[in-house]
Amino acid sequence: MKRIIISFTISFTLIALLSTMSLAATKSDYDHRYKLPDAKTWNFEARRNAANDSLGNNSLWERRIRRDVTEQLAAHGFTQANGAPPSLLVSYHLGTRERVQTQYVGTGFPGYVGRRGRWFGWGPGWSETTVWRTPYLKSTLVMDVIDAQTKQLVWRGYDTETIDFNKADQTINKAVEHLTKRFTHDLKVSEEK
């Protein structure tokens, strides 16, 4: 009986944890009629809209994002136009928000045992409910790509991720990688049409 209770509790806990897990998502929207210029040059645009939270606005993360965007775009064949007029402008901002995840886990047996020690099905049973409150940091990195000639937004992508302060460098790198892959994919799809 004790084994049944333990295995049921472990199974229920795993299911509850997996069902409430927050997954990263990368989404984008773009001008489907836009054709990429032959010269794939780009540069950073001055940030138009900055995040107004103290966690997302820090110079360490700012430098990491700039470094990662530069490396990722270079890996996809884009050249940063230092001094020359670029064909694309890249703007980004990172916003964070502190959240709390609440989980309720029932730790008991959902039935009852009759007079002769037999299982008689579902009933009031005995159980306790454990409540776990886990604080975490939810972040969103938004990247805009603007046509330098017309100043029109041609692509916007955002990546939502949970930042681990102990691994902020890896988390930011992964978010930038997801966004640049999505950007180059969307441009290829647009050119094939």
Residue 91: its pLDDT value, please? 92
Q: In terms of Cα–Cα distance, which of 3, 86, 99 is closest to 45?
A: 86
Handedness of CA 178, 183, 185, 189 (dihedral sign): positive
Q: Note the pLDDT of residue 34.
A: 84
* pLDDT (0 to 100) of residue 114: 53
Total of domains in the chain:
1
Q: Where are the beta strands (DSSP E) in the chain?
A: 25-30, 41-44, 79-80, 88-106, 109-113, 119-126, 129-147, 153-162
- Apex 130 CA angle, 126 and 135, nearest 5: 170
Predicted pLDDT at 16: 46
User: Is 123 contained in some domain?
Assistant: no
Q: Is residue 5 part of a domain?
A: no
User: What's the pLDDT score for residue 125?
Assistant: 52
Provide DSSP, 53-101.
STTT--HHHHHHHHHHHHHHHHHTT-EE-SSSPPSEEEEEEEEEEEEEE
* 43 assigned to some structural domain: yes
Tell me whether residue 127 is in a domain. Answer: no
19, part of any domain? no
CATH code at 173?
3.30.160.670
Domain that holds residue 74: 24-105+133-192
100 in a structural domain: yes
Q: Lowest-confidence range among 5-9, 93-97, 165-169?
A: 5-9
In angstroms, the CA 17 to CA 143 distance is 31
Give residue 72's pLDDT. 94
Specify the higher pLDDT residue, 10 or 40: 40
169: Cβ contacts below 8 Å, ≥ 6 apart:
64
Average of pLDDT values for 159-187?
85
Question: Is residue 184 a part of any domain in this protein?
Answer: yes
121 assigned to some structural domain? no
pLDDT digits (tens, 9 = 90+) for 127-136: 567 788 888 7
Does the structure show a pLDDT above 90 at 144? Answer: yes
**Sign of the CA dihedral with 12 first, then 15, 19, and 22 last:** positive
Three-state secondary structure call for residue 16: helix
Determine the pLDDT at residue 47: 65
Highest mean pLDDT among 6-15, 30-39, 139-148, 157-166 belongs to 139-148
pLDDT tens, position by position, 15-57:
544 444 445 688 888 888 888 777 789 999 876 555 566 666 7
pLDDT, one tens digit per residue, over 69-127 is: 999 999 999 999 888 889 999 999 888 777 788 887 766 555 555 555 555 555 555 55
